[in-house]
Amino acid sequence: MADIHFTLNGQEVAYEGSAADRLLDVLRDTYRCTSVKCGCKEGECGACSVIIDGILHNSCCVAMGAVNNCSIVTMEGYRETDRFKVLSKAFGELSAVQCGFCIPGMVLAAEALLSQNPKPTEEEIREELSGNLCRCTGYNAIVNAVKNAAKEGDGLW
Amino acid sequence: MVDGFIANSLAEALEIRATQDVVPYAGGTDLMVVNRPGLTYLFIGKVPELKRVFVDEQYVHIGAAVTFTEAIHNPDVPTLMKEAISRIAAPAIRNAGTFGGNLGNGSAKADSVLIEFATDAKLRLVSAKGERIIDVDKFYLGRKKLDLAKDELIAEILLPSKGIENYAYTKVGGRNALAISRVSFAGVFASEEGKITNIAAAFGAVADTVLRYKDIEEMLLGKTIAEARELRQDYLQAYSERMVLTRGRVSAEYRKGVCMNLLGDFLTKFGI
Amino acid sequence: MEKISQSVIKKDHDPKISGRSIYVCDYPSEGVLCGKILHAKVAKAKVLGVKVPELPEGYFYVDARDIPGDNNVNIVLDDMPIYCRETVEYIGEAIAMICGPDEKVVDKLLATCQVEYEELEPVIDLRKATEAFFNYDFAHGDLEKAFAEADKIYDEEFTTGYQEQAYLETQSMMAEPEESGRMFVHGSMQCAYYVKGAVMRALGCGPSGVHIYQDVTGGGFGGKEAFPSILACQVAVAARKCGKTVRCVFDRREDMEYTSKRHPSICRYKVAVKDGLVTAMDIDVIYNAGAYSTLSAVVLQRGLIAGPGIYKVPNLHVHGRALKTNTSPCGAYRGFGAPQTYFAVEMVMDHIARDLGIDSLEFKQANFAKQGDVTSTSGRYHFPIPIPDMIEEIDQLCHYRQKRLEYSKPQTGRYRRGIGMSMYFHGAGFTGSGERDIIKAVAKLRKYADGTVEVLASNGEIGQGVRTTFPKIVAHELNLPLEKVYYNHPDTARVPDSGPTVASRSLMIVGELLRRAAIKLRTQWIDGEEQEVEEHFREPTFMIPFYIDKFQGDAYPTYAWAVNVLELEVDTYTGITKVLGAYGNFDVGTPIDYNIVMGQMEGGFLQGIGYASIENMDYDAKGRIRNNSFSDYLIPTTKDVPNLQCILHVDKYPEGPYGAKGAGEVPLVGGPPAYLDAMEQALGGVNLYHAPFSIEDTMKVIMKEGI
């Protein structure tokens, strides 16, 4: 089997390691995408969320062989977008970021939601963020921030 | 490189499966929790033949590599199945997790498998040599033991396309998301000309495999609702005697109590 | 809203949300050795030896023999070793560390280490434990007389389980030997100076031999108060031996199973009631300390002081012990010993009211302490007690009384509802004379020639917002734009010891020092010059001196107050319980930033709800914790609650900055009693005695009562 080719935040890359390596580790160690956090390595917390071909994934539960020819977006890429700016502003205005460890994953989960459903209800927001644990906020500020971002960013998604 | 095979077609996948010592990898959500060192994965998540959903006269065919999210958005997937799989874990896991993986993992807690038991689903297993279709309950030989040969892959789940519109479904998890089932129940009911033609009841996460007792179900088959109502206590008693449950994250007593409540509720829902 | 309360964008918002913040796990691995701990696999044993596999070049095995200083971690009694001595005392105790450049090789080496144990009989069952690390007793009034004259005596026992902090970033620490010989330790922590004291002792060096820096920290909640001192010693000793930077990042299972959690408790309450009033309480408290004493002394003290709750108890006896078991040492967790006794006292008050046939709120109201009343430790409630007003406010918010009445009528059908209330205080700041006698906080401001001002203090940003609120206070006093004032993560080499980030003290105590310092700087301000000002802690003059040996005096200068209401719906077929509404009214004084304070209230409240319901952790007969992952130790997700409705009642504290009091802990404390009170109502008025109360517990009652 040849190298694994994929696009990382818009850049084409070829990974030469094992197909069984964890995407989470490879993103952090090989490509220095340290916004992707390791909270449990079992798919139970969402801190390592990334977007693969437009869809939210836990990068700890993805082997490298599964991302061949895929396009991966982490916060390192997403933070350059206008959508990020809207989400960041909304989170900032409600002080929705406390310790910050869950946040890059949480914001990508919000992006995955809004890209499918630009005007979500509170229930839909709570459903779509339900795989991203936050121990600090009690979720109010995060859920409200996503709601506000959807309003503010009308047309972006 | 390296240790791993990416299959682009079913034929290719079966060829590799026949000749190499590989572990089929569809969504990865179970495999990667442990990611046992030294395994060689056969990546089948993008094999087109395993990604299809379609309906024929008898069955809804769901490809083994169809993800739960894909199925939730597919109009051909029956409501009962959608209800169950929309309660699996959380979006990111549903985006990756597949029907084949849920089966292949061999757990009695698998939420899609419960529905397959309750609906008398069949599985199409394929190898380079050919294919076979078996009933889902025959696929499970015991705790984490499957009737799947080393050269076989799960290709499709065949759900009946009719007769599963009337159902009861409950999942009991430790919380409302990211929850492994602690008890799950699915019941399917059908009647024709006032007589019960189907009254399937399946219990998940309470024993080594999903439980279903077809001989007890027969007590009510062919009966009218009024007749069935007369038999309700005997029927429940039969279940209560038969169900010997194990303990897991919750006690056997809890499992039993909840199973009996949900079974009773299922009967009540259909007037029995 | 006052100007100081108006919310700003947090100073650390941009780096955190954009993923640019560097947590200790994020530093590049080049030149860094990965350190992993060899944990004991049995609860009590003599360690006869360890067969270490042959180590490839560049790999090291580090144990107690490598400690240059003293093998005791500075905490309170300092009984905890860095690496085990002759025996191991709990499953998970550190025997050694293996360090090397490649994590996978380290893992393999660890897996092939063979520890030879001579197993000893462990103490696992708390009820059979006899060795008390701490044993406290205090009383006032005439207990015997009160019980003799009582109309009725109640005797009930309550238990609570572990609670795991479950911060999203696991315990992580890094030690770098500097060229000068000084050791640089940095990582995830709440208390840089605690870590410093511990590492100095481990390395046997003076204050100049080590400096500590708090990296961006992914949550603490108390879990990073004492444990980082242990891990810091372990990596510092390893780095000293290897002569290289060593980093140890715990995996989730390691963290959940082996690091400190909230103490499980058994609280027995004997209560005398006469003419509808509580006349006496005889309280006996047992906390499961685990294998070493760590912070149990102070945790227990706070729990005992909160023993009688917010009620006036003229005759009181409190006895409490922290008992040793051969399990993971328990430690600090937001609330710090108080949630356990509050659970017991609120529940016993509910039960008494039920027995007397009166509404529990009415019964509690009749027994409230008032301003000027004597506290449990014979101090005074110096300031007004806002609870009666807060109850009216929360009743308006959620129609508590109306729903309480409605749900008290007989219910039928599959779903049953209940609504419950808890009310309590949380003593703001350290217990007793800790601030005055032990911490002696110092904070500084440094003004640079360009007119920017740096806050110099040792309180760590752990999500609670001190990097924003400290500068806000200073900017406010100096009339500067907020951008001109900043507060970096503390490095002990350049900041004074303003104390640890614990006990809801940072803003109230250190924030006030900074306010005073800013006033001083304002009066001395000279444009274009570099200037520095310093302020020291002063105890408020109204305080009645506290003596810990007698538990006498003002245990706290003031209190944060709270009323919580939870409304539940129970599915009687499954025991699944839905939180229909969660309402909190909190008095933490003036919010220094409204959003930040609300974030604390909501986050703490949800932890309290988790503690009451789904956060279940226990150990088996061998002392092994099985709930050691996020799939087995469940914390609330977005889908487990609706938006929490929190409001603030503001009673200003004159000694806090602009009237601010302690805020961090209070929102967590009242979850269990409010939840169980609601559960009791939903289940038709049964008495319940333990938390967390799981779906299985609920089902047991339903089956037993035939509901």
Q: Is residue A19 part of a domain?
A: yes
Report the gap between the CA of C4 and the closest CA in chain B (Å).
39
SS3 (DSSP) at A154:
coil
Distances (CA, A) of B207 to A151, B137, B248, C358: 48, 14, 9, 46
- Whether residues A50 and A105 fall in one domain: no
A157 lies in some domain: no
What letter represents residue C483's amino acid? Answer: E
Q: Do domains C265-431+553-616+641-705 and C434-536 have the same CATH topology?
A: yes
Least CB-CB distance to B258: which of C573, C638, C639? Answer: C573
DSSP reduced 3-state for C535: strand
Q: Tell me the average pLDDT across C674-699.
A: 98
Q: What is the CATH number of the domain that holds A98?
A: 1.10.150.120
Which B residues in the span 85-144 are in contact with A, Cβ-Cβ below 8 Å? 89-93, 95-96
Nearest to C581 by CA among C388, C407, C390, C386: C407
pLDDT in the model for residue B249? 85
Q: Which residue has the higher pLDDT, C187 or A154?
A: C187
Between residues 174 and 193 of chain B, which touch chain C (CB distance below 8 Å)?
174-180, 182-183
Closest chain B C-alpha to A42 CA, distance in angstroms: 5
The CA distances from residue C11 to A62, A90, C482, C510, C640, in Å, are: 34, 15, 9, 18, 30
Reply yes or no on domain C434-536 having CATH 3.30.365.10: yes
Asked if residue C429 has pLDDT above 80, the reply is: yes
Judge if A17 and A38 occupy the same domain: yes
C696 at the B interface (CB within 8 A)?
A: yes
A112 touches chain C (CB under 8 A): no
List the chains bordering chain A where 3 or more Cβ pairs fall under 8 Å.
Answer: B, C
The C-alpha atoms of residue C28 and residue C38 are separated, in whole angstroms, by 24
**Do B183 and C574 make contact, defined as CB atoms within 8 angstroms?**
yes
Residues in chain A within 8 Å Cβ distance of C170: 39
Q: Touching check for B25 and chain A: CB below 8 Å? A: yes
Residue A20 sits in a domain whose CATH number is 3.10.20.30
Predicted confidence at residue C78, as pLDDT, reads 87
User: So what's the pLDDT on residue B143?
Assistant: 86
Domain boundaries, chain C: 24-121+173-251, 265-431+553-616+641-705, 434-536
Residue C164's nearest CA partner among C301, C15, C312, C334 is: C334
Choosing among C576, C626, C694, which should be mutated to test the B contact, i.e. which has the most B CBs within 10 A? C576
Q: What is the pLDDT of residue C281?
A: 98
- According to CATH, the topology of domain C265-431+553-616+641-705 is Aldehyde Oxidoreductase; domain 4 (3.30.365)
Which pLDDT score is estimated for B247? Answer: 86
Least CB–CB distance from C637: residue in B176, B180, B261: B176
In chain C, residues with a C-beta closer than 8 Å to the C-beta of B87 are: none
Would you place residue A2 in the very low, low, confident or very high pLDDT band (cuts 50, 70, 90)? confident
Contacts of A60 in chain C (CB under 8 A): none
Q: Are C253 and C242 in contact (CB under 8 A)?
A: no
**Distance from the A1 Cα atom to the nearest Cα atom in chain B, whole angstroms:** 6
Asked if C286 reaches chain B (Cβ–Cβ under 8 Å), the answer is: no
Rounded CA Rg of chain C: 25
- Cβ–Cβ contact A17 with C under 8 A: no
Q: How many CA atoms lie within 13 Å of B147's alpha carbon, on the beta-carbon side?
A: 14
Chains touching chain C, criterion 3+ CB pairs below 8 Å: A, B
Please name each of the domains of chain B with its CATH number.
Answer: 47-160 (3.30.465.10), 167-269 (3.30.390.50)
User: Is B45's CB within 8 Å of A66's CB?
Assistant: yes
Across the A:C interface, residue pairs with CB atoms under 8 Å apart total 171
Whether B21 contacts chain A with CB within 8 A: no
**Alpha helices, H only, C81-226:** 103-112, 143-149, 192-203
| Contact assignment for A61 to B1 by CB distance below 8 Å | no
Element (H, E) at C242: helix C227-242
CA distance B76 to A8: 34
Judgement on whether residues A123 and A88 belong to the same structural domain of the protein: yes
User: Rounded to an integer, what distance in angstroms lies between the CA atom of residue C474 and that of residue C343?
Assistant: 39
Domain boundary among A49, A77, A105: A77
Could you give the CA distance from residue C66 to residue C215 in angstroms, rounded to a whole number? Answer: 26
Q: Averaged over C496-512, what is the pLDDT?
A: 97
Burial C141-171 (b: 16+ CB within 10 A, else e): bebeebbeebeeebebebbbbbbbbbbbbbb
Q: Residue A148 phi/psi, 5° resolution?
A: -65, -40
ipTM of the complex: 0.98
**Between chains, do A99 and C219 touch, taking CB under 8 Å as contact?**
yes
Distances (CA, A) of C367 to A14, C209, C319, C420, C455: 72, 55, 22, 18, 45
Residues A87 and A70 in one domain: no
A65–B4 CB contact, under 8 Å = yes
Contact A76, A9 (CB under 8 A): yes
Express each pLDDT in C347-364 by its tens digit: 999 999 999 999 999 999
Q: Spell B113-137 as b/e; 16+ CB within 10 A means b.
A: bbbbbbbbbbbbbbbbeeeeeeebb
Nearest to A63 among B41, B89, B176 (CB): B41
- Domain termination residue (choose one: A13, A45, A77): A77
Q: Mention every residue, 6+ apart, whose C-beta is less than 8 A from residue C16.
A: A97, A100, A103, C216
DSSP helix/strand/coil, C598 = helix
d(CA C687, CA B150): 57
**CA C266 – CA C161 distance, rounded (Å):** 9
Residue by residue, DSSP assigns C26-41 as GS--TTEEEEEEEE-S
Regarding whether A117 and A135 lie in a shared domain, the answer is yes
Determine the distance in angstroms separating the CA of A99 from the nearest CA of chain B, rounded to an integer: 22
- Give the DSSP per-residue string, chain B: --S-EE-SSHHHHHHHHHHS--EEESS-TTHHHH--TT--EEE-TT-GGGS-EEE-SSEEEEETT-BHHHHHT-TTS-HHHHHHHTTSS-HHHHHH-BHHHHHHT--TT-HHHHHHHHTT-EEEEEETTEEEEEEHHHHEEETTEE---TT-EEEEEEEESSS-SSEEEEEEESSSSS--EEEEEEEEEEEETTEEEEEEEEEESSSSS-EE-HHHHHTTTT-BHHHHHHHHHHHHHHHHHH--PPPSSS-HHHHHHHHHHHHHHHHHHTT-
C607 backbone dihedrals φ, ψ, rounded to 5°: -60, -35
pLDDT of residue C63: 98
* Least Cα separation, residue A11 to chain B (angstroms): 22
Q: E strand or H helix at C17, and its extent?
A: helix C13-17
Q: How close does chain C come to B212, measured CA to CA in Å?
A: 20
The answer for B 221-260 residues in CB contact with C (under 8 A) is 249-251, 253-254, 257-258
Neighbour-count burial of B4, counting CB atoms closer than 10 A to its CB (0-12 exposed, 13-18 middle, 19+ buried): buried
Alpha-carbon span C15 to A32, nearest angstrom: 16
Look at residue A55 and tell me if it is in a domain.
Answer: yes
Measured between beta carbons, which residues in chain A are less than 8 angstroms from residue C598?
95, 140-141
What CA–CA distance (Å, rounded) separates C331 from C334? 10
Is C414 in Cβ contact with B265 (below 8 Å)?
Answer: yes
Residues of B in contact with C636 (CB under 8 A): 175
Q: A36 and A87 share a domain?
A: no
Contacts of C323 (CB under 8 A, 6+ apart): C126, C129, C130, C131, C132, C133, C286, C287, C288, C289
Average pLDDT over residues C331-344: 98
Which among A14, B116, A80 has a CA at the least distance from the CA of C20?
A: A80
Mutate to test the interface with C, among B36, B250, B258 (most CBs of C within 10 A): B258
C24-121+173-251 belongs to CATH 3.30.460.20: no
Q: Could you read off the pLDDT tens digit of each residue along chain B, which spans 272 residues?
A: 468 999 999 999 999 999 999 999 999 999 999 988 889 999 999 999 999 999 999 999 999 999 999 999 999 999 999 999 999 999 999 999 999 999 999 999 999 999 999 999 999 999 999 999 999 999 999 888 999 999 999 999 999 999 999 999 999 999 999 999 999 999 999 999 999 999 999 999 999 999 999 999 999 999 999 999 999 999 999 999 999 888 888 999 999 999 999 999 999 999 99
Taking CB atoms and an 8 Å cutoff, what residues of chain A touch B96?
57-58, 61-62
pLDDT of amino acid B1: 42
Average pLDDT (C690-701) is 97
**Contact yes or no for A104/C19 (Cβ under 8 A):** yes
Q: Can you tell me the distance from the alpha carbon of A34 to that of A22, in angstroms, rounded to the nearest whole number?
A: 14
Residue with tokens 């409190």: C318
Please indicate whether, in this complex, the C-beta atoms of B28 and A63 are within 8 angstroms of each other.
Answer: yes
What pLDDT sits at residue C41?
98
pLDDT digits (tens, 9 = 90+) for C468-490: 999 999 999 999 999 999 999 99
| A31 vs C: CB within 8 A | no
B93 reaches C (C-beta below 8 A): no
Q: What is the mean pLDDT of residues C578-605?
A: 98
Asked if residue A112 has pLDDT above 90, the reply is: yes
Between CA C43 and CA C143 the distance in angstroms is 41
User: Is pLDDT above 60 for C495?
Assistant: yes
Q: How many domains does chain A have?
A: 2
Indicate yes or no: CB of C632 within 8 angstroms of CB of B249: yes
- A52 shares a domain with A86: no
In this prediction, residue B2 carries a pLDDT of 60
pLDDT tens column, C269-301: 999 999 999 999 999 999 999 999 999 999 999
Beta bridge partners of C380: C374
Using a CB-CB distance cutoff of 8 angstroms, which residues of chain A are in contact with residue B41?
19-20, 63, 65
Three-state DSSP class for residue C16:
helix
As beta bridge partners, residue C281 has C271, C316
Q: Which phi-psi region, left, alpha or beta, contains residue B75 (left: φ > 0; alpha: ψ -120 to 50)?
A: alpha
Expressed as residue numbers, the domain containing A87 is 81-152
User: Cβ–Cβ of C634/B175 closer than 8 Å?
Assistant: yes
C647, C393 contact by CB (below 8 A): yes
Host H or E run for residue C47: strand C45-51
Residues facing A63 on adjacent strands: A22
Q: What are phi and psi of B203, to 5 degrees?
A: -120, 125
Closest to C568 in 3D by CA, of C550, C582, C547: C582
pLDDT one-digit tens code per residue, C110-141 = 999 999 999 999 999 999 999 999 999 999 99
Q: A22 and A62: one domain?
A: yes
